[in-house]
């Protein structure tokens, strides 16, 4: 059996450039960077390769000085979990700050390593960041070696200076680790919804640890956090995104980038769990998001969360029916009342996700579609539109799966009313049981 892909954790005091280094090493912006301490809250993961060696990077919120702030306490817990997952540590410090600024963080890192019996066993690279000139290199080495963690690597995460040398040594250190075969992901699942709807609580329940920070404060999750779970032999990759709210209500640049990242996560997903708070089901914003998901031909599951706070089963059913009425264009979607905190109906949610993905993988034989199309046209032919040609439909074929896309061959696309296309979509869905996923019909003229 091959070994797991090596994992490298970036830790250190807040605001020393960990996320900048994370993005530089990956060659793309995944972690959110900003001038304020605490910009990174959840631990973010990214996979990269250097000198043909594949490894995973974990960006953390940093080991801040201990305080009574529950959010800071959660960030420290996230960082400690990252350390225990790692095969090597990159300890980032600010080369322009006094060594004393990193002393407390160093003590806490050593304490975590000692508790987990990793001290002097896990490779630690002390990275002195913000070295923009060679003249600061020797001073940084002399200063930060006093931390007693290992060799010093002067770099500039912003410009990339010294990062290549660091990666060379890092790969050399983990060279004994063998790459695992890439896991086959059955479904990429994005969890979206307003801030504080319970998305991170659901992710944590699925993996059995506090992978994403849970807090009553809206906007606690900023980076998209992804986890993999195995369900009935299938690997489901979940992405917990930052809470989505109207752009007019976002006034922080970091939050704006988090929204952008959430939308990007939707693009890469097969199935989207749209999470609503059972205590607030007005759902106007969620209706807009759901419409975009349908037009993007996504698999969709609606999770009505926090039903454990409702009085009884009758109240839950009433809220569920009320919510369904707000989404008349999602009749193919399952609405599942859940409690992410207590785990109620999470199994049913997973079943709906698998069902939606299976629907997206269906392939319909062309001869079956041709036969059914003739019967549908005979029973309900398309109407002639004013000032348009008489509509003639020649053929219907499936041209894609995941998402399911069909091509309707007609004499003139302008002659087919959108309501008739929707009628055919419903017929396809009913006949071939496309549950839980949007489908798309495109129109074209016959090939000459």
Query: Binding site: residue ranges?
Result: 12-19, 59-63, 129-132, 193-200, 240-244, 305-308
User: In the 8-state DSSP scheme, what is residue 278?
Assistant: T
Q: Which of 328, 304, 334, 329 shows the shortest CA–CA distance to 318?
A: 304
CA quadruple 359, 361, 364, 366: dihedral, nearest 10: 150
Buried-exposed string 198-215: b where 16+ CB fall within 10 A, e elsewhere: bbbbbbbbbeeebbbbbb
Dihedral over Cα of 40, 41, 44, 50: its sign:
positive
Contacts of residue 374, defined as CB under 8 A and 6 or more positions apart, other chains included, come to none
Helix crossing, 70-85 with 100-115: angle to 10°? 60
Q: What is the separation of C-alpha 422 from the centre of its chain, rounded to a whole number of angstroms?
A: 31
Residue 353 and residue 299 in contact, taking contact as beta carbons nearer than 8 Å: yes
Backbone angles phi, psi at 441, to 5 degrees: -115, 125
Buried-exposed string 48-84: b where 16+ CB fall within 10 A, e elsewhere: beeeebebbbbbbbbbbeeeeeebbebbbebbbbbbe
Angstrom distance (rounded) from CA 396 to CA 369: 6
- Pull the structure tokens for residue 157: 């995460």
Angstrom distance (rounded) from CA 106 to CA 83: 13
CB-count burial class (<10 Å; 0-12, 13-18, 19+) for 121? exposed
Residue 436 and residue 300 in contact, taking contact as beta carbons nearer than 8 Å: yes
| Residue carrying structure tokens 């995460």 | 157
Helix crossing, 418-432 with 366-379: angle to 10°? 130
**Distance in Å from the first CA to the final CA of the chain:** 54
Q: What is the separation of C-alpha 231 from the centre of its chain, rounded to a whole number of angstroms?
A: 18
Q: Which residues are annotated as a binding site for GTP?
A: 12-19, 59-63, 129-132, 193-200, 240-244, 305-308
Q: Which of 407, 422, 395 shows the shortest CA–CA distance to 332?
A: 422
Residue 84 and residue 116 in contact, taking contact as beta carbons nearer than 8 Å: yes
Strands (E), 157-222: 185-193
């Amino acid at each position: 059996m091959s070994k797991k892909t090596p994992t490298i954790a970036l830790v250190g005091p807040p605001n020393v450039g960990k996320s900048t280094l994370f993005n530089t090493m990956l060659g793309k912006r995944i972690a959110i960077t900003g001038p304020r301490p605490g910009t990174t809250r959840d631990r973010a993961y990214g996979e990269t390769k250097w000198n043909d060696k594949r490894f995973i990077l974990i960006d953390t919120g940093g080991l801040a000085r201990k305080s009574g702030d529950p959010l800071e306490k959660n960030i420290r817990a996230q960082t400690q979990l990252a350390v225990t997952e790692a095969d090597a540590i990159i300890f980032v410090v600010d080369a322009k700050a006094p060594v004393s600024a990193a002393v407390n963080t160093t003590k806490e890192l050593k304490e975590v390593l000692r508790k987990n019996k990793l001290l002097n066993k896990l490779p630690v690279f002390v990275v002195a960041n913000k070295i923009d000139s060679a003249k600061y290199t020797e001073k940084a080495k002399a200063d930060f070696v006093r931390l007693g963690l290992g060799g010093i690597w002067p770099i500039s995460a912003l410009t990339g200076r010294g990062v290549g040398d660091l990666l060379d040594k890092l790969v050399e250190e983990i060279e004994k680790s063998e790459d695992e075969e890439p896991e086959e992901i059955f479904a990429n699942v994005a969890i979206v919804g307003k801030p504080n709807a319970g998305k991170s609580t659901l992710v944590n329940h699925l993996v059995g640890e506090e992978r994403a920070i849970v807090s009553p404060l809206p906007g606690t999750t900023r980076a998209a956090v992804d986890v993999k779970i195995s369900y009935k032999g299938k690997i489901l990759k979940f992405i917990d995104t930052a809470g989505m709210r109207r752009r007019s209500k976002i006034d922080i640049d970091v939050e704006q980038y988090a929204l952008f990242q959430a939308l990007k996560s939707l693009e890469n997903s097969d199935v989207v769990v749209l999470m609503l708070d059972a205590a607030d089901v007005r759902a106007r914003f969620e209706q807009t998001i759901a419409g975009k998901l349908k037009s993007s031909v996504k698999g969709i599951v609606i999770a009505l969360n926090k039903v454990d706070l409702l009085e009884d089963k009758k109240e839950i059913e009433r809220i569920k029916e009320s919510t369904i009425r707000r989404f008349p264009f999602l009749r193919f979607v399952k609405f599942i009342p859940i409690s992410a905190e207590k785990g109620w109906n999470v199994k049913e949610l997973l079943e709906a996700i698998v069902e939606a993905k299976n629907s997206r993988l269906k392939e319909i034989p062309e001869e079956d579609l041709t036969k059914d199309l003739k019967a549908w046209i005979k029973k309900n032919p398309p109407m002639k539109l004013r000032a348009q040609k008489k509509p003639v439909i020649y053929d219907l074929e499936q041209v894609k799966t995941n998402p399911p896309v069909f091509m309707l061959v007609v004499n003139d696309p302008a002659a087919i009313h959108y309501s008739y296309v929707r009628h055919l979509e419903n017929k396809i869905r009913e006949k071939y049981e496309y549950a839980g996923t949007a489908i798309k019909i495109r129109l074209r003229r016959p090939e000459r």
